[in-house]
Structure 1
Amino acid sequence: MVAQDNDHPVKMPPRLRKSSRQSPSFFKLFAILCLCVCFFVVVIGAYFQALPWNLYAHGTNALDNLAFSLGLQTHVYAVVIDAGSTGSRLLAFTFHKSLIDGNLKLDDELFVQVKPGLSSFSNEPEKGANQMLALLERAKDVVPPSERGHTPLSMKATAGLRLLPREKADRLIEKVREVFRESPFHSTAHSVSIMDGTDEGLFSWFTVNFLLDRFGAGPEHTAVALDLGGGSTQVTFALDKDEEAIFRAHDPDSVHEINAFHNKLAVYTHSYLGLGLMAARHAILTADQEGNTSVIHNVCINPIVSTEWEYAGTTYTLKGPKDPTIIHIKEKKGTVAEDRPIVNFTQCLSTVQDYVAHKVYKPKGLSRREINAFSYYFDRAAEVGLIDERVGGVVSLKQFMDAAKTSCNTPNVDQPLMCLDLTIISVLLKDGFGFESKTKLNLFKKIDNHEISWALGLAFHILENGL
């Protein structure tokens, strides 16, 4: 052994220090462990009904976000076209299936509306198909190319096509099917069809209560859905056990069993074809017409009005009654006076009641429930200032009726049919559904920034059950 010189000590190799940084995989494993623990907590919490959030909420919660950040969840898509009587609407939805509860959660949607309605192309079905083709191009902005082949595509036509002669409706349907077959999205022979009014009501009701997070507690916590379209109107609500027995005895075809998030509910729905706002307008305006004339004089039109209105391919010239109602108005101060032409509200009300009142069954107990009304209920209330058109609001039947009277007493060539429309709505709510003057309606176009439309309910149904 060779002695070492103390002046030149041997250099020892440096000790390896353990890095204070952990590998990325460690954090991922730790996060997955946390997720598993959270999942266990959720299961236990759900069992004892002690969760700090609604298990059936429509949106994404913190645990979903954590799962997304770990790449454990992916988006699923559905594309639905609502071919209504006055316009067609594309809704392209983005969902994911929660790892926590297995339910679909709504992440986003694209909403695009075009006019006129598909039924307007009854004599030119190729133009109607081209309208659908343009909407599908917009859906490509939402659905990635890799997902389009298994993204379900559906178009359902509502009252506009229901009111067409069968052969014309069939030609339109077949032309749209040709467009769907050439599209990159997934479709079947059942993807394009005319929707039954019952399904329209049920899917609208599902949309409203899904967006309000009302599922999971019981029928008494759900809201009524009132949908006023152009060609038809629907009323839909959940029943308790006692109500179910009564309604099944009176109208068994209108009671349906719905499975919403593993909860079975009895739901009443009824669709009234011909009581949509445009269809009711047409029936009331043409009720006393003699001969096949396109010039219509009606008591619900102000005497100063002469306007054109198109319905089902026919253009009408609308005017006030030949024997107008004039009121003499004198200012409170001074001698200035005015002869004002008005709609005789009593006559107009009676005319509308003759058409509406006996066509609707009054469901008992409807007015004591929370009521959400949309479509033309919302539009007309916004147009006369009863609600803010951006956020909606709450309106009583009395407010609708007062607005109808005001509109009928005010000459307005810019809104020539507002008197008639508000009277139809007021009569439908009061004489049709049996609401009291104080009954309040929640009027919204959107809930949580999502459109209130049966399309969301249909998309949910398709993703759960297939096309």
Structure 2
Amino acid sequence: NRGVVSRGWRPGWRRPGRGSPKDRLPPAPRKRALVSVGVAERAVHETPTLTHETFKALKPGLSAYADDVEKSAQGIQELLDVAKQDIPFDFWKATPLVLKATAGLRLLPGEKAQKLLQKVKEVFKASPFLVGDDCVSIMNGTDEGVSAWITINFLTGSLKTPGGSSVGMLDLGGGSTQIAFLPRVEGTLQASPPGYLTALRMFNRTYKLYSYSYLGLGLMSARLAILGGVEGQPAKDGKELVSPCLSPSFKGEWEHAEVTYRVSGQKAVASLHELCAARVSEVLQNRVHRTEEVKHVDFYAFSYYYDLAAGVG
């Protein structure tokens, strides 16, 4: 999904035109317009206060326009219009605009991803907001997890108490899934594989987080793998994907990443559920690291976790 978030980080700013001449000057930037994913600043010394937030998301995500880049501009412009409605006119030029793409673009061939980013940058530069040279980029999986961990612990107030308890986060996207938490057990730090730990300096404190992104294990990408398909590639010769994880009577089409697959359920046998479980285990085998400490950490789960839960009531 693509989304825009407009945030006011400090209380007490005044709209220009009120108070003394000094008050009428736009202060240092206190709002941020973030497109797609929030940005985590790696060296922040004061705990900010969230005073206001506006959120809007669009479907499909940016990666859906990989073969028709021009169409992506309309959605980006729609999100910028939301930001313009929410942010006072006099603050536009002082409001940084940033897009951080996630797994959808990480899964695309490099050339296609770069063309999409270039189009977004063109739309950004035509906007009235503050746009830097690095305003558009692809966020790596670790930073995506760290950003989500900062967000959830900021919103729950955990970051305001140094040394206090924190919560972990689970983020299930379409192309990848992330986990991030703050280990308290030395054994977790010692046993974590390379690439699973990252240091973060924030609010005059250093956090050593367990953060990892499993590319290809997002809801849609994992579903495709379980069905027997290959990411970004149509089934060979239009072959139908037959799966024990679908109802035996099911027959239809399923679209993922601009590719349409013909899918059907496997004929009923006594051990159909066991065949499905075996297929899922095969896809996950040796791809997910397990750590015992997560059993004792409170986690917040969002994105598709929420969507699926809300869908079943």
| TM-score (norm: length of structure 2) | 0.83
User: Structure 1 counterpart of 2:275, which letter?
Assistant: Q
Q: How does 1:214-253 map to 2 (within 5 A)?
A: 214-218=158-162, 221-240=165-184, 242-243=186-187, 245-247=189-191, 250-253=192-195
CA drift of 1:199 comes to 0.7
Residue 308 of structure 2: aligned partner: 380
Contact 1:256 1:267 in 2 (8 A): yes
1:266 aligns with 2:208: yes
> CA offsets per residue over residues 163-198 of structure 1, 9 Å max, x none?
111111111111111111111111112111111111
Q: Tell me the alpha carbon deviations over residues 97-147 of structure 1, each in whole angstroms, 9 at most, x when there is no partner.
A: xxxx95321111111111111111111101112211121111101111111
Q: Residue 32 of structure 2: which of 41, 66, 78 is its match? A: 78
Give the secondary-structure state (helix, strand or coil) at the position aligned to 1:239.
coil
Aligned partner of 2:50 in structure 1 is: 106
Q: Which amino acid aligns with 2:263?
A: L
Equivalent AA in structure 1 for residue 72 of structure 2: G
Deviation of the 1:347 alpha carbon: 1.4
Q: If you compute each CA radius of gyration, which structure gives the higher value, 1 or 2?
A: 1
* In 2, Cα distance between equivalents of 1:300 and 1:217: 46
Distance verdict in 2 for CA 1:67–1:367, change over 3 Å: farther
Count, aligned residues: 292
Correspondent of 1:308 among 249, 253, 259: 253
> Does residue 1:295 correspond to 2:240, yes or no?
yes
State the 4+ residue runs in structure 1 displaced beyond 4 angstroms.
64-68, 70-75, 287-290
Q: Assess, with a 3 A threshold, how the Cα gap between structure 1 residues 65 and 80 changes in structure 2: closer, same or farther.
A: closer
Amino acid at match of 2:228: T
> Equivalent residues in 2 for 1:127-166 (5 A)?
127-166=71-110
Structure 2: where are the runs of 5+ without partners? 1-7, 39-44
CA distance in 2, matches of 1:147, 1:161: 31
Percent identity of paired positions between Structure 1 and Structure 2:
36
**Offset of 1:214 from its aligned partner?**
0.6
Aligned AA for 2:249? I
1:192–1:290 CA distance, 2 compared to 1 (3 A): closer
Distance 1:325 1:384, change over 3 A: farther
Q: Where do 1:431-446 residues align within 5 Å?
A: none
Please tell me the residue identity of whatever aligns with 1:370: D
Residue 218 to residue 294, structure 1, CA distance change in 2 (3 Å): farther
CA distance in 2, matches of 1:261, 1:186: 25
Q: 1:349 — aligned with what?
A: 277
* Structure number with higher relative contact order (C-alpha < 8 Å, ≥ 6 residues apart): 2
Distance 2:9 2:176 in 1: 34
Give the match for residue 282 of structure 1.
Answer: 224
State which of 107, 111, 117 in structure 1 corresponds to 2:61. 117
| Closer, same or farther: CA 76–314 of 1 in aligned 2, 3 Å | same
Deviation digits for residues 384-442 of structure 1 (CA, Å, limit 9, x no counterpart): 23xxxxxxxxxxxxxxxxxxxxxxxxxxxxxxxxxxxxxxxxxxxxxxxxxxxxxxxxx
Q: CA deviation at 1:218?
A: 4.9
CA contact (8 A) 1:129 1:172 kept: no
> In 2, distance between residues paired with 1:147 and 1:65?
15
Structure 1: which 5+ residue stretches go unaligned?
1-58, 84-90, 92-100, 327-342, 386-467
- Aligned pairs for 1:26-105 (under 5 A) are 76-82=30-36, 102-105=46-49
Which amino acid letter does the alignment assign opposite residue 33 of structure 2? V
Quote the Cα distance in structure 2 between the aligned partners of 1:130 and 1:319. Answer: 35
Tell me by how many angstroms 1:243 deviates: 4.6
User: Which SS does the other structure have where 2:308 is aligned?
Assistant: helix
Two-structure CA RMSD over aligned residues (Å):
3.2
Q: Distance in 2 between matches of 1:80 and 1:354?
A: 38
